[in-house]
Amino acid sequence: MSDYAPPLISAERVIGGRAFDFSRRVAVMAIVNRTPDSFHDQGRTFALEKAVEAVRAAAGAGADWIDIGGVPFAPGPDVSVEEELRRVLPVVEAARDLAVVSVDTYRPEVAREVIKAGAGVVNDTSGLRDPAMADAVAGTAASLVITHSLAAPRTLHPSPQYGDVTAEVADFLRRRVELALSRGVRPDQIIIDPGHDLNKNTYHSLELTRRLREITEIGYPTLAALSNKDFIGETLDRPQQERLVGTVATVVFCIMRGARIVRVHDVPAAVDAVRMTEAMLGLREPAYTRHNI
């Protein structure tokens, strides 16, 4: 059981008004980007009506959470706070009654507004680069995802170097968790993410995945955000739109190492993979049983 049942701080949580028991279930987080330059969808859901359609489709396919992004992590032109809010707030409003709403942002100003609008999770890919993000979440009902990265979002960081990538990521996450706690964020609000591919090369991301248990044993529910990422594409020699099988394999592997939230583009395939893995681990009953009964 130790490979897939990490010690969890506050395994039972209420997030976005919905109950989760991370000792028994894995949450599927769908990705909906209102950006013209995201690495995978290439602006497919930039138009508001397309983003809302994607939200409804993800919820209908079984997504537990919907992660809405207005600014990609990757290098690119600056996006103002006002523009980011213009992009994400209408989608938060469209999604909040369908699933837990997460907003992918590194700006405290945006976090405050989306929490007011009904977001249950702030997904900070900068790992509290601005400590005021912790202040924005403290005292609210929202959860905070603390993600490892070396550089600020939207900036280049070529050829990142690590002595021991997993140990260094784990140390970073522990220190940032302590920072969040020191500023009033409750333990039951915190989620951690090792940041696959964020300022990491393929060897780093593979090593992190192989040793993910060292991250999940920190004790906070771990988010694995790995859908269609370059470490999968480079490992399999597959272009962006042909990485689904590699993504599903990586999702299952990460659950076996203790991940309890998985962030994905292809919701139906991920939901089936997650539910089948839960069933094989004895965490979920079959939907029905007729064969040889």
Indicate which residue of 87, 107, 200, 229 is catalytic. Answer: 229
In this structure, what token pair is assigned to residue 127? 């790992």
Based on the residue annotation, tell me whether 50 is a catalytic residue of this protein.
no
b/e map 46-58, b = 16+ CB within 10 Å: beeeebbebbeeb
Other Cβ atoms within 10 Å of 98 Cβ, number: 14
DSSP 25: -
Say if CB 93 and CB 117 are below 8 A apart: yes
Q: Tell me how far apart the alpha carbons of residues 30 and 177 are, in angstroms, rounded to a whole number.
A: 25
Q: Which residues pair with 136 in a beta bridge?
A: none
Q: Are 95 and 112 in contact (CB under 8 A)?
A: no
- Whether 229 is catalytic is yes
Taking a C-beta distance cutoff of 8 angstroms, is the pair 246, 232 a contact? yes
d(CA 93, CA 11): 28
State which amino acid sits at residue 283: L
Residues that are catalytic = 229, 263
